[in-house]
């Protein structure tokens, strides 16, 4: 059985715990550590702490968990560990004592441990489960090269209260966090996402007295413009063309952008940005050639301003009337909840 190694990164050292570390480190426990680890007391008893140190040796022997004391400039500064959850997967945990916080030691220690675990333990993936309110630990995981992957709702308790957990992970074959690709992937995992919708105004009739095509939908009462949710890595213009082809079996071209409408959260949906394109003016008989996607579209209708009230959602009625009032001026309208913002 090999001895647990010592890992080094300049003035930062990860080494095995010994019983000689017990008294000094037990005194460094504080309310911050007790809170996030949900310990019953701020500091463990001498007996409990020594027993925990002994357990780190047993876990190393069994290779079920590897725990290192974090030492900085010769002083004990914290602890970091990886628990082998499944073959090839390790779960990370860490803590830095109060006098040493804010020095960047946590992320350096975690990154050093991760690199070693990939090599020495043969792990294919490491992950961390962090309370979203513990923002320093979230930053530590990100700086160590982990990417934010998801949120588990109410899967843990803290102080007797159900809490969410953020899952952050890094695979062996991920780009290293010091590279441009690795840094970009980490940052991309944290940036906000906003639902994008692309719709189109397809008209029939003369330029002066045309009607607008609206879809009667299966899954909601209100009629709506043709279109749908933009797929990842798809442009809004490509989306509206695809949606009309898929739902109506009609080929259209996305023309000028008529409006951008920001929608606040509604009916359980998060907020969204809607891009409304001009799909041109066609012969009204075009829809006779349409083949409706039955699971989404019940029918299609040519409509005018007198048809909208009570049939379309209020924000869409405001949008349609704004577009009607600005027809022909060539400008793109910006709206919020269907109301033009000037």
Q: Write down all domains in the chain, each with its CATH number in brackets.
A: 7-188 (3.40.630.30), 195-340 (3.90.79.10)
* Confidence at residue 1, expressed as pLDDT on a 0 to 100 scale: 57
Q: State how far the Cα of 92 lies from the Cα of 103, in Å rounded to an integer.
A: 20
Residues 6+ apart with CB under 8 A from 33: 39, 42, 95, 97
Q: DSSP letter for 288, please.
A: G
Residue with tokens 């030691």: 105
Condensed to tens digits (0 to 9), the pLDDT of residues 163-196 reads 999 999 999 999 999 999 999 999 999 988 889 9
* Confidence at residue 268, expressed as pLDDT on a 0 to 100 scale: 81
Backbone φ and ψ of 32, nearest 5°: -60, -50
Answer positive or negative: Cα dihedral of 53, 57, 62, 63.
positive
* Confidence at residue 144, expressed as pLDDT on a 0 to 100 scale: 97
Q: Which long-range contacts (CB under 8 A, 24 or more apart) does 322-328 make?
A: 322/259, 323/201, 323/258, 323/259, 323/276
Q: State how far the Cα of 11 lies from the Cα of 31, in Å rounded to an integer.
A: 27
Which residues of the chain are under the pLDDT cut of 50?
Answer: none
Answer positive or negative: Cα dihedral of 141, 159, 81, 96.
positive
Contact between residue 14 and residue 6 where contact means Cβ atoms under 8 Å apart? yes
* Confidence at residue 60, expressed as pLDDT on a 0 to 100 scale: 96
Q: Quick one: tokens of 331?
A: 């400008």
Contact between residue 274 and residue 199 where contact means Cβ atoms under 8 Å apart? yes
* Confidence at residue 192, expressed as pLDDT on a 0 to 100 scale: 84
* Confidence at residue 176, expressed as pLDDT on a 0 to 100 scale: 95
Contact between residue 151 and residue 169 where contact means Cβ atoms under 8 Å apart? no
Q: How many CA atoms lie within 13 A of 118 on its CB side?
A: 16
Contact between residue 216 and residue 297 where contact means Cβ atoms under 8 Å apart? yes
Q: Quick one: tokens of 220?
A: 């909601």
87 three-class SS: coil
């Amino acid at each position: 059985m090999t001895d647990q190694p010592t890992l080094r990164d300049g003035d930062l050292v990860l080494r095995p715990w010994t019983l000689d570390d017990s008294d000094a480190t037990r005194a460094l426990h504080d309310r911050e550590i007790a809170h996030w680890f949900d310990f019953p007391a701020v500091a463990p008893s001498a007996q409990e702490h020594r027993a925990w140190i002994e357990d780190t040796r047993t876990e190393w022997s069994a290779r079920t968990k590897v725990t290192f004391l974090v030492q900085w400039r010769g002083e004990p500064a914290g602890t970091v560990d990886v628990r082998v959850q499944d073959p090839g997967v390790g779960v990370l945990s860490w803590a830095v004592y109060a006098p040493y916080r804010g020095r960047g030691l946590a992320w350096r220690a975690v990154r050093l441990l991760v690199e070693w675990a990939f090599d020495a333990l043969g792990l294919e993936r490491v992950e961390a489960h962090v309370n979203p309110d513990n923002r320093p630990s979230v930053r530590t995981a990100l700086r160590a090269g982990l990417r934010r992957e998801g949120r588990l709702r109410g899967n843990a308790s803290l102080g007797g209260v159900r809490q969410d957990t953020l899952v952050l992970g890094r695979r062996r074959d991920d780009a290293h966090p010091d590279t441009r690709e690795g840094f970009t992937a980490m940052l991309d995992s944290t940036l906000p996402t906003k639902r994008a919708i692309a719709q189109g105004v397809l008209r029939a009739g003369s330029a002066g007295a045309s009607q607008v095509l609206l879809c009667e939908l299966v899954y909601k009462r209100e009629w709506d413009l043709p279109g749908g949710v933009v797929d990842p890595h798809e442009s809004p213009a490509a989306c509206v063309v695809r949606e009309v082809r898929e739902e109506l079996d009609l080929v259209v071209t996305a023309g000028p952008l008529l409006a951008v409408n920001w929608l606040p959260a509604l009916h359980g949906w998060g907020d969204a940005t809607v891009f409304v394109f001009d799909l041109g003016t066609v012969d009204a008989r075009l829809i006779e050639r349409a083949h409706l996607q039955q699971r989404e579209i019940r029918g299609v209708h040519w409509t005018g301003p007198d048809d909208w009230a009570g049939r379309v959602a209020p924000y869409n009625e405001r949008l349609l009337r704004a577009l009607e009032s600005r027809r022909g001026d060539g400008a793109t309208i910006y709206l919020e909840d269907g109301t033009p913002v000037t």
